[in-house]
Copies of this chain bind each other. A is one copy, B any other.
Amino acid sequence: MIDFVLLIVIAICIIALGLAAILTRNLLSQDEGTPKMREVADAIRVGAEAFIKRQYSTIAVLAVVAAVVIFAIYYFTGQQAIALATAAAFIVGAACSAVAGVVAMWIAVRTNIRTASAAQTSDGKALDFSFRGGAISGLIITSMSLLGVSLTYIALGADPQTTPFVIIGFAFGASFVALFAQLGGGIYTKAADVGADIVGKIEAGIPEDDVRNPATIADLVGDNVGDCAGRGADLFESTAAENIGAMILGVALFPIFGVNGILFPIVMCSLGLLASMIGILSVKGVDGADPMDAMNRGYYITALISAVFLAGGVYYLLGATPGWMYFVLAGFVGIALSVAFLRVTLYYTDHHYRPVQDIADASETGAGTNLIMGFSVGLETTAIPAVLIGVSLLASYWCGTQTGIPQGGLYGTAVATIGMLMVCAYVLTMDTFGPIADNAGGIVEMSQAPDAVRHRMDKLDAAGNTTKALTKGYAIGSASLAVFLLFNAYMADISKLTGKAFEVVNLANVNVFVGALIGAMLVFLFASLAIRAVSKTAQSVIDAVRIQFKDPAIMAGTKKPDYAAVIDITTQGALKNMVLPGALVIIFPIIIGVTMKYEALAGFLMVATITGILMALILNNSGGAWDNAKKYIETGVHGGKKSEAHKAAVIGDTVGDPFKDTAGPSLHVLIKLLATLTLVLAPLFI
């Protein structure tokens, strides 16, 4: 018997998919621009599809191996009953995560050309197209995540007290694929970008997206496979993992809330999806207006409606508890945190504020001071977010304890996480809008469209940079709030397996302390390898471009450079270099857990998470600030383009590229991967 509220979830998801279908049909019927534009867009599409195909083939092999290992672990540790179900859930989660990435890429490579074409006549229309392209991804990915969890829950028997512990396989599958998708895509996009910039902008002195640069198409492919496909998989697994974490907590509260406490997270997220649809439809581009105005308004509409839905949902599902109002308050804490994170990220990465201006100032004395200042800003950006996370955790926990129910505090943090997750579909829309606008700008530039068209796209591109930075802030903020939930899920799982309560992770125990030390180290090592992978792949790109630049016909613009050769080199490099960092973060926790057992592994997990959150902030924000300091100088300050300050700022931007688009976003996934991995492999660690 399927619970009534599950039907609400499924219904809302179907509505969202329907809206996505309508938007897609509408979008595909739009004009595809000039033949020159189509030529560029086709090259991007072919390159992106080729990469995704090869990448997901590699990931599929790794996922099948992982599924077999999971099955074997469960089978041989006395968990035969759920071995097949867990492995199957893993495969389903992995497959859905892959589909999420492919969908995001598929839409993006079709929207970019239509946006470019629209920009020929209207910037409002260009915003509409690129934003709706993002919306299609956002709606499909979010509803797939909710449908995936709901249907897996039903398929696995819908027993409120045991099924949540089996669906963790789904979350791990999603994280597993997301890690490699984000890592491979992130390496691809930045190796191409850094390579194109270093040889093009710095050595040869030609502009960005110049047709003569053989790395430009690879760079534009990168926006689709890294930012769209990677982030799509990332947010897919976030919603999946966080919902499942909250469901496991609901199991502990089953005596109080019944099945409502378990289904609460997915019901609320589906209501958030509804709110996001309204928010999305409220966005309408206006010629000459700042695109951020329309998108910000849509965001606040979504947040407001989500808050109303949250109150209603808590009342409907948990209203039997006298203190239910406190859960509403906890949910508001989550929504408030999402707004606060966006504001802080804006402060640190927008040129209207002190940090980016400081970096621009420091560029006057050269690349050395630009880099020192940028790195210093990056480290500084951990401060306010850490305090915000701390206060939100304590506040939502406090709210929960006021309800007077056992484990109420923890459930308070769960409700806050859910509150933050409700706006997910809208945020994903803004996020995917960024690379689409970026790509459309590249197409306009490479098809040598008139200046007016370029200016329209420049404005949209700048807004895209802002939304990309903001959504990274959102992603890491929601992850931080969710981790406490995921720790609890791990501890509940261990308690269930060992049959005795596991409630203390004693950092004063030498094993736990060493586990914690290794956990923190793993984050740095992973970031090192992710950054190095970009550097290695970029060096191959640079070598390839330099060889082509030796041909005077290419530099003169009379001969078309060999774009495909660079695409191929980047693809090979990205796939080769994603395996080591990816494998490490899977192997390390297993070694610690097997040799030092579950409490040390909990220390590992918790301190790796803390370090991962802070390190992701550092990498994302310093990269964003360097990028915008360069763009700020390009507006004419400090000597403008071609000044020494600009040259210094370009170097800063190059360094920031792998920070903000490879290592940083991969750390988002890493945090959740560690949590889902320890959950699924828990039988090994007792």
Contacts and interface: CB of A to CB of B under 8 A. Distances in A.
Interface string A346-385: 0000000000000000100111110111011111101100
A386 B517 CA distance: 7
Contacts of A161: none
Interface stretch (A56-64, A127-135, A330-338, A505-513): A505-513
A509 to B, nearest CB: 8
8 contacts: A194-B369, A198-B369, A362-B539, A367-B367, A379-B524, A386-B517, A513-B606, A520-B610
A651 B488 CA distance: 46
Contacts of A362: 535, 539
A487 interface: yes
Contact of A380 (B380, B518, B525, B611): B525
Nearest to A658: B372
B514 A394 contact: yes
Given A366-B198, A484-B513, A614 B508 contact: no
Copies in the complex: 2
B504 A487 contact: no
A532 interface: yes
Contact of A610 (B383, B389, B390, B607): B607
Interface residues of A, number: 76
A516 interface: yes
A383 B194 CA distance: 27
Nearest to A377: B528
Contacts of A539: 362, 365, 369
A73 interface: no
Contact of A375 (B373, B610, B655): B655
A521 B386 contact: yes
A618 interface: yes
Interface of A: 194, 197-198, 202-203, 362, 365-369, 371-373, 375-380, 382-383, 386-387, 389-390, 393-394, 397, 409, 413, 484, 487-488, 491, 503-508, 510-514, 516-518, 520-521, 524-525, 527-529, 531-532, 534-535, 538-539, 542, 602-603, 606-607, 610-611, 613-614, 618, 651, 654-655, 658
Contacts of A506: 503-507
B532 A373 contact: yes
A516 B534 CA distance: 32
Contact of A518 (B367, B390, B508, B655): B390
Nearest to A584: B383
Contacts of A512: 507
A366 B195 CA distance: 11
Contacts of A368: 194, 197-198, 202, 651, 654-655
Contacts of A520: 386, 520, 607, 610-611, 614
A487 B362 CA distance: 41
Given A194-B368, A368-B655, A390-B514, 15 more contacts: A367-B367, A372-B655, A375-B531, A376-B529, A380-B525, A386-B521, A504-B508, A507-B507, A507-B603, A508-B602, A513-B610, A516-B606, A516-B610, A520-B611, A611-B611
A376 B531 CA distance: 6
Contacts of A538: 365, 369, 372
Given A367-B367, A539-B362, A655-B372, A379 B528 contact: yes
Given A506-B504, A507-B603, A527 B379 contact: yes
A383 B521 contact: yes
Nearest to A592: B390
A409 B202 contact: no
Contact of A505 (B197, B376, B508, B511): B508
Nearest to A596: B394
Contacts of A517: 386, 389-390, 610, 613-614
Contacts of A613: 517
